[in-house]
Structure 1
Amino acid sequence: MAVSIFELFKVGVGPSSSHTVGPMRAARLFVTALAEEGSLPRVAGVHVGLYGALAATGRGHGSDTAVMLGLEGEDPETVDIEAVDERVGAIRERGRLRLAGEHEVAFHHRRQLVMNKRRSLPAHPNGMCFTAVDGDGAVLAERTFYSVGGGFVVEPDESGNARVVADTTPQAYPFRTAAELLGHCQETGLPVSAVMRANERAWRDDDGISVGLRRIHDVMAACVANGCARDGELPGGMHVRRRAPGLHERLREREDRGDPLDVMDWVSLYAIAVNEENASGGRVVTAPTNGAAGIIPAVLHYYTGFRDGDDAGVERFLLTAGAIAVLYKENASISGAEVGCQGEVGVACSMAAGALAEVLGGTPEQVENAAEIGMEHNLGLTCDPVGGLVQVPCIERNAMGAVKAITAARMALRGDGRHFVSLDRVIRTMRQTGADMKTKYKETARGGLAVNVTEC
């Protein structure tokens, strides 16, 4: 299946790509179809059911807010994040919302948006059902969606399986495995980033690719800057204070003290800043998910700030990271609800490690080695958010993932690309490990730190 880099890196809102971005997109798809079919004026009510992991941590992840905004026609990339609280508060207070922004109906969010925490739909833990009824209660439309990670939304097929509509756009160098990707590099002499750029030309020209990648980088950079500037507590009731502004100030005060490990402190700061923005519902880039959104920007900041990276290098970094993400999307999962946090922080670490190896002069074989190291040491990582919020341990995990990615890249660059475990094998292992992992460790907040840490 052809996958564009701009499907992997999507501008959206926090705190979760699967629980916030995906449900908002699904709700918008539902009401857009009603409008296009001409049945929107007949709708008297809408009922929404969220299931499984999507429901278990839905309120902490803002899934209810996302659904209401999506029903009003909002898109994750363009929604006014400063107005979200006021708008959702008004919907709850008035008991009414405007479907697709044009047709007002009664909507009682507790009765018509139900969290089915102990029930799951068959194809994926993040399931949701939308139903529209007329004034007599007759069903006008019903649709089921699955939010499968990274903001991707799919529908079930006739057998009830999650139906991925494959993009069959012809590409210059199609690949599904790391072995195939390396084969293209060896046959053409191209680096991984150039193979990915050649494939991206199936959808847009080089100028369009560069503009899109710069936009992604700009949003990431703005997210770091915002996270370093905004103080106070994160929302959700756990009274978790933002640490990035204080860390930023302290690091600036000691810039000239000559501690070589200060570099890693800066990297940790960048990751924490992004994920504190994500936890507060800010504008972030799925990389490949919101829960792991801080790793790619942090390692990119390391490259541009401490390794003299330029704009061309930033493009190559993102293209290489995107190529690695394709491998996980095709052969495993980037959904914490499906395979645990190894599918989020683990994948982001792998992407960042391989991308950094390329822009620091690594061969395709060293890039593959770095990506493999990045995942190998995240295998089995659970998704156990305390209080169902993307805060503890998620924010610090991004800092650790960024540091691991840099270490993995440096280890690979010290070798010749030959290594014992291939990237394809570690991806296969990650998928198997996720299948074996108990459900309570997969974004349900029913296991791990989520039940062993007292909320305060």
Structure 2
Amino acid sequence: MVNQAHESISVFDIFKIGVGPSSSHTLGPWKAALQCIANIQKKDSLAAVEKMQVLLYGSLAKTGHGHGSDIAVMMGLCGEDPETIDVHSILPKVAQINDSGMIVLYGEKAIPFQPATDIVFLKNENLPFHPNGLSFLISMKDGREICATYYSIGGGFIVQEGDTASTTTQPIVELPFPIDTANDLLRWCMKGLSISDVVMENELAWRSEEATRIGLLHIWETMRDCIYRGCHTQGELPGGLKVKRRAFDLNKKLMGGTLAPDYDTWLSKIQAGGNSFQYTLDWVSCFALAVNEENASFGRVVTAPTNGAAGVIPAVLQYFVCFCNGKDPDKIIRFLLTASEIGSIFKKGATISAAMGGCQAEIGVSSAMAAGALTECMGGSQRQTLMAAEIAMEHHLGLTCDPIGGLVQIPCIERNTMGAIKAITASQLALQSAPDFAKVSLDKVIKTMWDTALDMNSKYKETSDGGLAVNIPLGLSEC
């Protein structure tokens, strides 16, 4: 779903703090429910609501249980903020709704609500605009019936039916450097600016540089804490596949059987272990596994640009911090600014929704973002940075989204490790190459990704109707 020209997308639209396991199937429905309730408050009154039913369509319905779409909707209706909610309180809140048969809208108005019947999964029905559609059917005390329909279009972005633009977290502004394509970005860079410089100038249209810096470091702290937490949590992932967490055991093995009491101690021990190829490779895989195991467990993650691909950028950034002298806050900020612009260009020129484009739109885009960001931070030119992003995506083209059981576990978690490694490889290739001789541009690979998405069979677009999802029986012991 290609968006309109010059859509103003902030770094904080691409990187959003939320709850796993899916940005389009969890965070999106959560935000849609929040917006629906806010609109009722604005136009009517929550006290006037008598009952409500939620309809989930298409891809959102087919993998909704595995992605926690029903849970997300209930949390949104309750007025919970996905960025700040205590993630350990989510399942008890859901249990309370089920036990009481009531839901308290925005913490103010209790109405009868039975999740088993009032959240309807319409697996064989699709709305025309996007595969991830949901409608809120609201009955008012005065007899009116209100229908509010939303689309979760990837990365936690939502669109209400009838709107012309995605709902972002930022006000609509006119940017000093409007960018739709990689060529647009290069044109602005000809003024002597790096890619991260251009992005920071655009961010000034929303807030001060200091506020952007503080916000980005908070994003990194959330990513960092997620990696550390995932590396120090053992057990089994929820959902019925009986998938064992692997980051804990790998972390313990690489640490020589010991565990670090805090992030800084852990980082120092990792760095003391050297930087051999195998050692570095194992750690990058461990970082990515850790994030996506947290994501699969309804943990706190950052869309990067999606939840299903949330491990790639943190893993590559942690690699940069650990092994490339990248701990300086300025370098981390540059990394995130550069990555966000590449993600924004993909969103405008193609999609970041697996339900529209398959996993190439998630792992592929995140790998391209990480590759470009790493390249700029390693001293690459603007053209080498975009070349790295192109290389990373070129080798994800056609990647399908076929989650077993509709869960963001198999093959999603391992795919994050592969996306991270490909990003580092793409960066190294670009840094050792002359972009003038490249045959494929980033804009061309984005167009190719979109063409591929349009040609891809719908069963490979986050429906669990094809691929591994139908060839691997649920509960298989090897899982």
Q: Under a length normalisation based on structure 1, what TM-score does the superposition of the two structures give?
A: 0.96
Which of 264, 270, 288 lines up with 2:281 in the alignment?
A: 264
Matched AA of 2:235:
G
Which residue of structure 2 aligns with residue 125 of structure 1?
Answer: 131
Aligned to 1:440: 459
Structure 2 partner of 1:64: 70
Q: Answer yes or no: is 1:296 the counterpart of 2:313.
A: yes
Offset at residue 259 of structure 1 (A): 4.4
1:449 aligns with 2:468: yes
From 150, 153, 162, give the equivalent of 2:155: 150
How far, CA to CA, are the matches of 1:327 and 1:214 in structure 2?
23
Specify the SS of the correspondent of 2:184.
helix
Q: Deviations over 1:31-88 (max 9, x none)?
A: 1111222331121110100000000000000000000111111121122211001000
Tell me the equivalent position of 1:351.
369
- Given candidates 418, 423, 427, the residue that maps to 1:405 is 423
State whether structure 2 residue 179 is matched by structure 1 residue 175.
yes
Structural RMSD (CA): 1.5
Shift of 1:164: 3.6
Any runs of at least 4 consecutive aligned residues in structure 1 with deviations exceeding 4 A, and if so which? 165-168, 254-259
1:157/1:163 contact within 8 Å kept: no
Which segment is superposed worse, 299-308 or 35-44? 35-44
Larger mean CA deviation between 250-259 and 354-363 belongs to 250-259
- Cα deviation digits, residues 228-268 of structure 1 (max 9, x gap): 11110000011001000000011112975874321011001
CA distance in 2, matches of 1:26, 1:434: 25
Aligned AA (2:390): E
Structure 1 residue 314: deviation in Å? Answer: 0.4
Q: Distance in 2 between matches of 1:23 and 1:238?
A: 24
CA distance in 2, matches of 1:168, 1:290: 25
Counterpart of 2:353 (choices 335, 348, 351) is: 335
Amino acid at match of 2:187: G
Shift in Å at residue 135 of structure 1? 4.7
Q: Partners of 2:423 and 2:275 in 1: how far apart?
A: 23
Task: Give the distance between the partners of 1:217 and 1:325, measured in 2 at CA.
Answer: 17
Match of 1:367 in 2: 385
Partner of 2:201: 198
- Tell me the distance in 2 between the aligned counterparts of 1:249 and 1:305: 17
Residues 376-427 of structure 1: per-residue CA shift (max 9 Å, x gap): 0000000000010000000000000000000000000001222110000000
For 1:117, give the aligned amino acid: K
> Structure 2: any 5+ residue segments left out of the alignment?
1-6, 258-269
- Counterpart Cα distance in 2 of 1:5 and 1:216: 10
Q: Distance in 2 between matches of 1:101 and 1:435?
A: 42
**Distance (Å, rounded) in 1 between the aligned partners of 2:471 and 2:41:** 47
393-402 or 149-158, larger mean C-alpha shift = 149-158
Counting aligned pairs with the same residue, the percent is: 50
Q: How does 1:200-349 map to 2 (within 5 A)?
A: 200-253=203-256, 256=273, 259-309=276-326, 310-349=328-367
Q: How big is the shift at 1:165?
A: 6.5
Over 3 Å counting, the alpha-carbon distance change for 1:183 and 1:258 in structure 2 is: closer
TM-score w.r.t. length of structure 2:
0.92
Does the CA contact (< 8 Å) of 1:156 and 1:163 recur in 2?
Answer: no
Quick one: distance in 1 between partners of 2:332 and 2:144?
Answer: 50
What do residues 139-184 of structure 1 show as CA deviations (whole Å, max 9, x unaligned)? 34221000000000101228xxx75469751222111100110111
